[in-house]
Structure formats: C-alpha cells, structure tokens
C-alpha cells in the first residue's frame, strides 16, 4: 500500500511574497501548493499599497529590509520583462523642505551608495524646478534616484500567480490553512496541515500569511513573534491631473513611515498618501476624515495646488509589522516550517529578493533543487485595448465584435477584455477590476458594474446572486421576489 501523497512545499498566503516564491519554486522539479484563504490571490495588503518599487536607498542596510530592497528592485525588471505587467521606472525625488533636513538627504544617499544603488544625484532648487515645476518653492534640495518605479501591484500579483500555475504550481483560493498537527515522534515525518477542504502532508511549509503570519506560526508551535497592524490611507486623484508630477515625490521620512508621497501611478492618475496609524483591527481598511486631512495637509506642503475635490477613489491598507520592525525570514525551531513574515514596506519592492532568500533557506534545510528545462517564463499578456493605436483597435474590433463593445467607458475596457479576464480566473467584481481596470475610472463603476456582473454570471454559469465584490460575504445582489436585482453594496471604492 502506498502512503499519503506528500507535497514538497506548501506556501500559506497568496500575496506578492507567496506568489513570487511559488513562481521561483516552479523552476524546479517540485510539487508545490499555494493556499490562499481569499477568493483570489493578491486581495491582502498586496493590492492596497502605494505601488512603488523603491529606488533602493530607503531601508537601513543593517536590516533584512535594507538588504533585500535593492536586489528586489532589480528582480522586478526581470519579472516585468517576462510577464508584461504595468511597471515604469519614473524615478524618485527625496526632497528637503528645510536646511535641517539636509543631513537626512545625506544619510539616505549614503545608504543607497552603500547598497550599490546607481545614478543617485543631488539636485539644487533650479534643477528641481526645471524638472518638477509644480513642486512647492519651499523645496530647497533633493536627492534624485532614477531607479525607483511605479507598478500595478494587483496586475503583477495576478500575472505572477498565473505564471506559477502554468508551470505546475497548484494555486488553491478560498482555502485557508486552519491547523497544523503537532510534531510526530518520527523527526523525518512530514508536516500535516488542515484546511476546511482537505488534509495535506508536506515536507516544507512557508508561512507567507501577511497580517496573520503570527497566527500561522502559532499553529506550528513556533509563535515567537507578533504582528501588529499599521494602517495607511491612500487617495487617488482624477486623471486630468496627469503630469502634475512626473516622478515619485518623497518627503524626508519619519521614525515609522516614509511620509506622505505624491505618486504618478502607472495608469496616469496621481496618488497621495499613505498615513501611518497603529491599529488593533488588522482588517480595518476604512478611510477617515482625519486621515484625509493629514494626507492633504502633508501633500500640499510638497505640491500646493493639490486639492481633495479631485479625489476619485480612496482606500487603506494595513502594514504587517513584526515586533522586531524587520522582516522575519527563514527556518524556525519546527523542522520544515519557514517564515516569510513581518513583510511591511518595502515588502512589495523586496518580494523578488525575498523569494530568492527563501529558496536558498529551503535548500539549506534540505529541499533538493533540480532545475526543470521546460519552465516557461512568459505568459500571454492580456490585451489592453485603450492603449493600442487606432488602427490596431479597428483591426481587433473587425476581427472580434466583442472589442467593439465598451463595458467601462471611463477606462475604455471592452467586453473582450472582460471575458478574457473571467476565462483567466476572475471570480469576483474586484478580480475583474484589478485585471482590466473596469470600474477604476472617474465614475468608479457607476456605469459598468452591472454589465461586469452579467458577464461574470453568464461566463461562470452562476446566478447573479452568487457573485461577490471580493469573496466571503461581500454579496452585491439581494434576491428579492419580482423586484429587479439591485446592487446593494459597493463597499470600498477601490
Ligand atoms: C498603505 C501601504 C502602502 C505601501 N506601499 C508600499 C510601496 O509603495 N512599496 C513597497 O515596496 N511596499 C509597500 N507596502 C508594503 C507592501 O504592500 C507589503 O509589504 C506586501 O504587499 C506584503 O505582501 P505579503 O505577501 O507579505 O502580504 P499579503 O499581500 O497580505 O498576503 C498575505 C496573504 O495571506 C493570506 N492568508 C492569511 N492567513 C491565511 C491562512 N490561514 N491561510 C491561507 N491564506 C492566508 C491573506 O489572505 C493574504 O492574501 C505598503 C503597505 C501599505 C499598507
């Protein structure tokens, strides 16, 4: 009789860290399963951040955050070339508003140099003005770092997960890890995990469970750290302000945050934020009047014309802060159980380097890495109709009438793009939005939500009342006799 099927690695958590690790492990002859408790990957903090791939100068080189920030930045270029998600190296300006802040510019520039970040230069007022005429006259000096970039984080996570799945990783959504059996008497025995759906035996577990990584570590009997939440509110401004700044503008940092930034997003809007407030509720993603007031007061110090009336969407994300204030990475006292926890900022930036770090840690714990020769780095990139030249748009529409039917008028998203996203795995309204941008424009889904839901229901063969905004109980349609279905919950606006 054969024994139970034993996996090589189970990754708990499908955020940017979990999916990037999954794709790296897919390069080897390994049996890998990724467990994500949400309806789709990337619905944790990986979709609710500033979307910046940091230049590499910000985090202290004596911490793991600092050591993995710059190599992570470099790793994103390779991922972008393979997968084609939105990522542009627009550069950053770290600005000083007073002479007292000059030593901070010196310190961060020296930090970047120590890490090997190329191209940093010091700009005087005239140079700053020539490049960013809308910045406040109070900006006295700046460090220019061309290596910083802006990314569509949700699009990146979805395509990385898709690539991992194409290369053999099993990506299981709506499947939370709920328990881990205590160690068996035989030290070589596999770890045994439980989800509501099944029992899983595995040689290694990687805990990439974000805000809940401390709970998962406790399940394994190695709860040596706690994770607290630090909330950040972000505000997106109308696309008509595109060009207000053309690089990411950073103030000098505070003890707990990089301060309020002004970011030209990859898709042409301007984002201002985030705040940094401790919160006991790890799921608290509400924006607040206080947060908005803080963000806009700070933003106006950098660009005086910024105005709350231009806000088209707002959201908050919660940073997963470990008590060490650093990443918690690597093996633990429980054989086979490896942490990827406490991944606060610059976790998005560092993710590719975190994945490499974890692969090395797993190898040092005995995971055999035999490279496959059939790993396919690319995935077919979804069509983005709105950015194509007129002739290509006309050609597509002539070939497939679904390209002639606009679903989202603000972001010019066609029916063909929506159905392709559903076929690629979108199961929720947010999943569609993050894949296609339908609902992200000025009207925030006022016009297209209903059509998106109809296409989702039709393509998935389910009832409208089965559909949710982001999984769980975020239902959108109430089942009422005789009355036409009505969207009853819009929830967070992005
Ligand atoms: C406001 C804000 C702005 C930020 N801006 C930036 C930035 O510009 N640049 C940057 O580099 N970093 C930034 N960050 C940090 C960055 O977003 C995070 O470091 C990164 O997204 C963390 O990824 P993760 O995979 O560890 O976590 P997550 O994305 O939260 O993923 C963890 C996943 O684990 C799942 N999970 C939890 N428990 C279980 C379980 N029991 N079973 C199965 N699955 C489970 C969750 O559902 C979740 O999907 C920002 C953070 C915030 C809050």
Taking the CA of residue 35 as reference, the ligand 1 atom at the shortest distance is: 43
CB of residue 75 inside a 6 A radius of ligand 1? no
- The top-level CATH class assigned to 386-466 is mainly alpha
On the question of pLDDT at 86 being above 90, the answer is yes
Our answer on whether the CB atom of 342 is closer than 6 Å to any ligand 1 atom is: no
Cis ω on the peptide bond leading into residue 274 (within 30° of 0)? yes
Whole-number Å distance between alpha carbons of 302 and 306: 9
Residue 382 reports pLDDT greater than 80: yes
Q: What is the DSSP letter of 485?
A: P
Q: How far is the CA of 16 from the centre of ligand 1 (A)?
A: 7
**Per annotation, catalytic residue among 54, 58, 194, 381:** 54
Ligand 1 pocket, 12 CB below 6 A? yes
Checking if the pLDDT of 486 tops 60, the result is no
Question: How many whole angstroms from 477 Cα to the centroid of ligand 1?
Answer: 29
Say if ligand 1 is within 6 A of residue 230 CB.
Answer: no
Looking at residue 493, what is its pLDDT?
42
Whether the pLDDT of residue 491 is over 50: the answer is: no
Give the angle subtended at the CA of 279 by the CAs of 276 and 283, to the nearest 5°: 105
The per-residue pLDDT for 480 is 63
What are the extents of the domains in the chain? 89-149+229-317, 386-466
Summarize the confidence of residues 368-378 as an average pLDDT.
Answer: 98
By C-alpha distance, which of 472, 436, 370 is closest to 158? Answer: 436
Distances (CA, A) of 93 to 61, 276, 485: 20, 21, 49
**Residue 108 pLDDT greater than 50, yes or no:** yes
Name which of 220, 472, 460, 167 is nearest 339 in CA terms: 220
Query: What is the fold, at CATH topology level, of the domain defined by 89-149+229-317?
Result: D-Amino Acid Oxidase; Chain A, domain 2 (3.30.9)
Cis amide bond preceding 73, omega within 30: no
Spell out the alpha helix ranges (H) of 148-225.
153-166, 213-219
131 included as an active-site residue? no
| 247-287: pLDDT as tens digits | 999 999 977 778 999 999 998 899 999 999 999 999 999 99
- Quote the mean pLDDT of the chain: 95
**Complete DSSP assignment for 50-68:** --EE--S-SS-TTSHHHHH
Task: Compute the average pLDDT of residues 53-81.
Answer: 97
Q: Which residues of 194-226 are buried (b: 16+ CB within 10 A; e: fewer)?
A: ebeeeebbbbbbbbbbbbbbbebbebbebeebe
Contact partners, residue 137, CB within 8 Å, separation at least 6:
none
């Amino acid at each position: 009789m054969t024994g139970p099927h034993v996996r090589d690695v189970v990754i708990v958590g499908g955020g940017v860290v979990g999916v990037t690790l999954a794709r790296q492990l897919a390069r080897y002859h390994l049996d890998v399963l990724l467990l994500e408790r949400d309806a789709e990957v990337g619905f944790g903090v990986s979709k609710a951040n500033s979307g910046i791939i940091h230049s590499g100068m910000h985090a202290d080189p004596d911490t793991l955050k600092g050591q993995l920030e710059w190599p992570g930045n470099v790793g994103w270029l390779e991922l972008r070339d393979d997968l084609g998600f939105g990522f542009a190296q627009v550069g950053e300006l770290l600005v000083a508003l007073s002479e007292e802040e000059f030593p901070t510019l010196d310190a961060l520039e020296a930090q970047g140099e120590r890490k090997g970040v190329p191209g940093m230069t010091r700009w005087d007022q005239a140079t700053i003005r020539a490049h960013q005429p809308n910045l406040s006259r109070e900006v006295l000096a700046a460090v220019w770092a061309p290596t910083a970039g802006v990314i569509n984080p949700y699009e990146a996570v979805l395509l990385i997960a898709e690539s991992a799945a194409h290369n053999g990783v099993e990506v299981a959504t709506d499947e939370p890890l709920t328990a881990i059996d205590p160690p068996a008497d035989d030290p070589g025995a596999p770890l045994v995990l439980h989800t509501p759906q099944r029992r899983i035996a595995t040689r290694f577990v990687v805990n990439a469970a974000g805000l809940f990584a401390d709970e998962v570590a406790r399940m394994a009997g190695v709860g040596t750290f706690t994770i607290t939440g630090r909330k950040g509110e972000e505000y997106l401004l109308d696309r008509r302000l595109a060009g207000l700044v053309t690089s990411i503008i950073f103030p000098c940092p505070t003890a707990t945050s990089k301060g309020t930034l002004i970011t030209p997003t990859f898709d042409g809007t301007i984002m201002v934020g985030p705040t940094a407030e401790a919160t006991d509720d790890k799921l608290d993603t509400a924006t607040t009047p206080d947060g908005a007031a803080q963000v806009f007061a700070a933003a106006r110090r950098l660009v005086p014309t910024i105005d709350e009336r231009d806000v088209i969407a707002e959201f908050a994300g919660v940073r997963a802060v470990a008590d060490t204030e650093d990443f918690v990475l690597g093996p633990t006292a429980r054989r086979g159980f490896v942490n990827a926890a406490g991944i606060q900022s610059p976790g998005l930036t560092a993710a590719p380097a975190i994945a490499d770090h974890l692969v090395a840690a797993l190898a040092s714990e005995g995971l055999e890495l035999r490279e496959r020769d059939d790993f396919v780095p690319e995935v077919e990139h979804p069509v983005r109709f709105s950015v194509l030249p007129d002739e290509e748009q006309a050609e597509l529409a002539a070939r497939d009438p679904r390209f002639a039917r606009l679903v989202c008028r603000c972001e010019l998203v066609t029916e063909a793009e929506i159905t392709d996203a559903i076929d690629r795995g979108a199961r929720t309204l947010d999943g569609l939005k993050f894949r296609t941008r339908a609902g992200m424009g000025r009207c925030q889904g006022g016009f297209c939500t209903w059509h998106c839901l109809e296409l989702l229901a039709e393509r998935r063969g389910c009832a409208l009342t089965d559909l949710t905004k982001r999984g769980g109980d975020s239902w959108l349609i109430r089942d009422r006799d005789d009355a036409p279905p009505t969207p009853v919950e819009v929830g967070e606006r992005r």
